[in-house]
Structure 1
């Protein structure tokens, strides 16, 4: 509300409220204060004066008038005289507020109409603009289409111009080629009248390219004329003329190629890599550069220097006439192959810098290394032995060849991997390396089995020689006393079987080296393991048979000294002494056979453990191989089981015979006392009983130690049954 506006009284003009008062930061408290400020101050002043008129006591307390005093004052003046003026003011204010609301509503309606009109105008303008934009887009599309059409036309024109230029260039080159071809077509063998291009050393690359094009064209024309077989004279003359050109071109190309090769060699000796690269690039136009590649590889010192090849032999094979061991050869090959790999690596750097197709050159180089340098070493190191007439075991036998083959094969495989790492292009270096050993790997399984048989035969001969040596030293004394018939016989040794297994382990390790495919590996392993089964079966079976021979000889001694009843005392004493010797021989043979059975069981367990730990995992990948080997193992051990069973039967017979002899010699008629005689029974053991028990305790002790499980139970059961049989 404006400051000069007056508040209406009961008879004064009404206040006029302004719309501007309600804009901005409107406050109702401020509006209300502006309306009543001119009326309320008089009321406030009256209250202040009334408060000042009251008496104040001496102690400072206000003296409150009594009710009578208040009544008297109320009759004199009203309590709130401005109330009427305020009511009038509020009524006038309400009317003006209603008027202001009507004014605001009118303005609002006017604004709505104006906004609606402006919106319609805007929509109309927007529609016109959209039509204009659509027209612009259509114009731009037509313009883009025109630009594209013009661009395509320009591209076609450019292609035509480029084609025309290429045709013009081709025509110029063709004219030049025809001119050069006529020069080569002049006189057979005459290359003196050629253009300076073909004799200028600075334009050798261009001359080589043109010569190759001319030769290709002439040879193609001759081939086409030959196929057509035209009878016309002109064609025949042209054909003969081109043949002259072909001959001259061939002669020129050969001369140029030789000249470039000479320049290449001279640059190679001076290590001028840039000149070598230039010559190699030009030579690549002649048979794709094969002559340059072959020539470069063939002139490497490692292939033509005799001293290098002799040094290879001395390093690996040793001095002339000496036989190198596989370990020495392994060290020599490691050193030599490392030197070869380093040499190839150095050559690789030169090849990469010189030749346009370095991978092809590396393939030729690596192939030459394997086929010449490595093959020469293999021929000296690996001499394939004959299976019909193998080398003696003193000279290494077949085993020496196999060990050497394994060492050389592994080291050569390492060289192949090193060469592959250096780089050998598309060459199958692994396949080429395998082909070097194909002759040796074809009969490898047969050589492995022959080696195992040769080792077994040598071992058996060694054991027989030891047995004969022991027999010549102690046999006569032992037999004179009859103490030990088997003292000269060779016992089964677990150490020998362990040696058989060690041979087989070494052979299996070579099978793993030479056999990559599971089927081939399983076949070779099975063949080698079958050799072990045959060796162990033969060895323990022969050992058991030798132990049985002692039992048989003891039984023969017992039968020899069985005499009748009508003999003299002297003869009886001699027979008793001989029977004691036969009994001692039988007991010794019994113990020896039990030891043989125990060692036989240990040997079989050793073979079974070896099969489970080393053989079965190599056979399992092939269906049926594992089961077949188990059947072969059972069949091989069945022979030893049969010999052991027969020997145990003889052991039982030996024990029964000795018990019967002791009872026959020691029992007396007085030892048996019938209860019917009325004599007090004597429970003390008789002499015969004591000797039998002592004998059984002594002789069965090795049986308890040697036999186990069901074997022990069956042996003792049968022995007891025969002892109880009258």
Structure 2
């Protein structure tokens, strides 16, 4: 803005129009207000100095002149723009023309370059062809020279002259390598030549070959003993060139310190292994663990030696590892498996599984050594095949062909049988005991010390059987008449009945078997073998043990003597069986599913099989609980049946006041308390509630029918009311609202025998009894001793058209009996 102001002041000194309206004025920043001010500043000054009225004409003429000058300047600028555009167009045409010329020149250069490249390619091909021809000629010349030398050596050997070749061999290590090559070729020529007169050459070549090989091996052995890797490498190269180096490799492996010391190690630790096997723990074998650690260390160190000595180091390492597996590991594995097999099948399987795990870890470490060290810059493992094959060869005799799973199933059968021996003996003793009789401990045989056993078909055998039968019958008669004490019954511990502790032992054995199955079985057979082992568990422990035990409990309840108070010996089996099913479900999820999850078909079948077994056990549990309920209810009915007709018809009122409860009531309440105590100890949750509800409901119905059987006097009603109150108090201990409601109604029914005749109708209409239809109350009212004297009341209540007195009294009235 300051620069513009400066220009404007300069223009005021000259002619405003010419100085202002020019091209430089519009360059840079242009201010229209200052431009107009510069054009009219003189006219403005004149107008200010003249006192006349403002005259716009001078301004108009000035601005018109400025406009004319601006138009002229515009035309000048447009003309200049047109000239510049013409010049730019001409320059662009020239540029395009030059680009076309340059492009044509580049194409010509490229064509020339391609032509030159093609010529150079032809020359290169010619040179390569010439080089190949020269190389072929050189090879032919070299081969001809070598053939000439071989022929000369062959002729010399034919006449028995080996001095020249011996001289070459003695020249140094490189010449020694050349000698090995010549002898190898001479052996090949001797095999091909079949001409008369060459027998001496063949014999001499063979003798010299043996001598050369022996010489190289002796030098190799001396260098190996001295630790001279350079000499070992020279001999190894010569022997590899001579015959592939097999003899050298065998000598190296056979004389290796690891294999020499291994036999001494096995002998020194054999006694320690025998002592460990006596423990029967079946844990990790320390000798095998130390052997594997020594193999890891030896292989890592030995690779550096083999790589420095042998030109075919990878092949030597393969043979070294194969020898380790085939000799050191296999020998020790056979030893520890033989010890385990001599001890037990379980010990054998434990040793086999632990050895498999230990050696598999060794194989994985050798694979890592192969990838990180042996493969080197190539990055391609070279020991994988030999390691896998050697590892598989170790365990094939013990695993394949179903040998492992057969041994595992046999071991499980032995373990299960060992734990279930007591139960099997009890089941056998039970089968020999008549149904309904107490199973007793088997008495020791009186003739068990007899050295001989008579044939059952002989006279002595038949007489012995007859005497045994007569003794048994005599003991039974003596027990019945009291001359001999009854045999001691078998306790639950002696029965070997299912228990949580025993089931844990059985499941632990099965968990161990499943772990071995996942370790030893091939991946493709894990699901099948796991299915077989789980089926064996269900069949042996579930069907033949748990279900059989439940059937025994049910049978005991079914054939129990109804004249005796029932016991609750079978009720604990409910809780035990439920916990066993929970353990089995947990075992299935944690141990079985991981092994069979890879096979959807096996998984589905196992779930169906397991659920079917559990449903069967739950059904037997329901039957067992129902049989227990039936036995309890039956005994309650037996107790009520001892109620005397005179219990509720005392001779005087004094005796009714002094009597607490009747004997049947005392027996029933005492038995119900025992039932509650045992049920609470063995049942819980909804099972306990259903169990007690079923007993309470049945007992309530029995009491309702019980009240219809006895005539009750006014004084006997007090006794009856005491009995019902005692029943109600005992049932209240069950803490079940439904039963409390039922026994509240029972107490209202008992009140019918106590209230006076004049208030009887009010009690029926206004108490809880108002919910019961009148015809259902008649059997109870008819048992009142004074009911025959209440004919008018009977007519009011039960004759057709009779009502309870209030219209709303029948609202919500039941149409069922009070006990339901």
Aligned equivalents of 2:276, 2:101: Cα separation in 1 = 111
Does residue 438 in structure 1 map to residue 396 in structure 2?
A: yes
Equivalent residues in 2 for 1:58-137, closer than 5 Å: none
On the 8 A contact 2:632/2:695 being kept in 1, the answer is no
Does residue 380 in structure 1 map to residue 353 in structure 2?
A: no
Match for 2:176 among 204, 217, 230?
Answer: 204
Aligned equivalents of 1:704, 1:384: Cα separation in 2 = 52
On the 8 A contact 2:680/2:688 being kept in 1, the answer is no
Aligned residues: 575
1:279, CA displacement in angstroms?
A: 1.0
On the 8 A contact 1:183/1:194 being kept in 2, the answer is no
Instruction: Quote the residue 2:418 is aligned against.
Output: 458
Unaligned runs of 5+ residues in structure 2 are 1-22, 27-48, 53-68, 371-381, 430-439, 444-481, 651-655, 707-820
1:416, CA displacement in angstroms?
A: 1.6
1:457, CA displacement in angstroms?
A: 2.1
Equivalent residues in 2 for 1:490-501, closer than 5 Å: 490=495, 491-501=497-507
Relative to 1, partners in 2 of residues 1:218 and 1:415: Cα closer, same or farther, differing over 3 Å?
Answer: same
Match for 1:526 among 518, 521, 531?
Answer: 531
On the 8 A contact 1:551/1:651 being kept in 2, the answer is yes
Does residue 261 in structure 1 map to residue 234 in structure 2?
A: no
Instruction: Give the TM-score normalised by the residue count of structure 1.
Output: 0.65
Q: Helix, strand or coil for the counterpart of 2:570?
A: helix
Q: Which has the higher contact order (CA 8 A, sep 6+)?
A: 1
Q: Helix, strand or coil for the counterpart of 2:277?
A: coil
Does residue 409 in structure 1 map to residue 356 in structure 2?
A: yes
Instruction: Quote the residue 1:9 is aligned against.
Output: none
Instruction: Quote the residue 2:386 is aligned against.
Output: 428
Does residue 694 in structure 1 map to residue 667 in structure 2?
A: no
Aligned equivalents of 1:262, 1:669: Cα separation in 2 = 122
1:282, CA displacement in angstroms?
A: 1.1
Aligned equivalents of 2:670, 2:88: Cα separation in 1 = 140
Larger radius of gyration: 1
Equivalent residues in 2 for 1:154-553, closer than 5 Å: 156-157=129-130, 159-186=132-159, 191=162, 196-197=167-168, 200=171, 202=173, 203-219=175-191, 221-222=192-193, 239-241=195-197, 245-305=201-261, 308-315=262-269, 318=272, 323=277, 325=279, 326=281, 329-383=284-338, 395=343, 397-423=344-370, 425=383, 427-442=385-400, 443-461=403-421, 487=491, 490=495, 491-517=497-523, 519-533=524-538, 534-544=540-550, 547=553, 551=557
Aligned equivalents of 1:540, 1:705: Cα separation in 2 = 21
Q: Helix, strand or coil for the counterpart of 2:338?
A: coil
Instruction: Quote the residue 2:453 is aligned against.
Output: none
Unaligned runs of 5+ residues in structure 1 are 1-24, 29-63, 68-93, 223-237, 474-478, 559-582, 675-680
Aligned equivalents of 1:654, 1:350: Cα separation in 2 = 86
Aligned equivalents of 1:656, 1:127: Cα separation in 2 = 120
1:150, CA displacement in angstroms?
A: 5.5
Q: Helix, strand or coil for the counterpart of 1:284?
A: helix
On the 8 A contact 2:550/2:621 being kept in 1, the answer is yes
Instruction: Give the TM-score normalised by the residue count of structure 2.
Output: 0.58
Q: Helix, strand or coil for the counterpart of 2:272?
A: coil
Aligned equivalents of 1:130, 1:592: Cα separation in 2 = 113
On the 8 A contact 1:277/1:354 being kept in 2, the answer is yes
Aligned equivalents of 2:222, 2:676: Cα separation in 1 = 94
Relative to 1, partners in 2 of residues 1:703 and 1:243: Cα closer, same or farther, differing over 3 Å?
Answer: farther
Aligned equivalents of 2:683, 2:213: Cα separation in 1 = 88
Q: Helix, strand or coil for the counterpart of 1:621?
A: coil
On the 8 A contact 2:441/2:487 being kept in 1, the answer is no
Aligned equivalents of 1:159, 1:299: Cα separation in 2 = 48
Aligned equivalents of 1:171, 1:711: Cα separation in 2 = 106
Q: Helix, strand or coil for the counterpart of 1:591?
A: coil
Aligned equivalents of 1:134, 1:460: Cα separation in 2 = 101
Aligned equivalents of 1:253, 1:327: Cα separation in 2 = 55
Q: Which moved more, 1:648-657 or 1:441-450?
A: 648-657
On the 8 A contact 1:537/1:639 being kept in 2, the answer is no
Q: Helix, strand or coil for the counterpart of 2:420?
A: helix
Aligned equivalents of 2:98, 2:600: Cα separation in 1 = 91
1:503, CA displacement in angstroms?
A: 1.2
Instruction: Quote the residue 2:740 is aligned against.
Output: none
On the 8 A contact 2:274/2:339 being kept in 1, the answer is no
Equivalent residues in 2 for 1:645-724, closer than 5 Å: 647-648=624-625, 650-652=627-629, 654-664=631-641, 666-671=642-647, 686-699=662-675, 701-703=677-679, 706-707=682-683, 709=686, 713=690, 717=694, 724=702
On the 8 A contact 2:336/2:351 being kept in 1, the answer is yes
1:399, CA displacement in angstroms?
A: 1.5
CA deviations 1:435-478 (Å, max 9, x no partner) are 2112222322122222222122222336789999x9799xxxxx
Relative to 1, partners in 2 of residues 1:699 and 1:244: Cα closer, same or farther, differing over 3 Å?
Answer: same
Relative to 1, partners in 2 of residues 1:118 and 1:593: Cα closer, same or farther, differing over 3 Å?
Answer: closer
Q: Which moved more, 1:690-699 or 1:311-320?
A: 311-320
Q: Which moved more, 1:206-215 or 1:635-644?
A: 635-644
Relative to 1, partners in 2 of residues 1:154 and 1:632: Cα closer, same or farther, differing over 3 Å?
Answer: closer
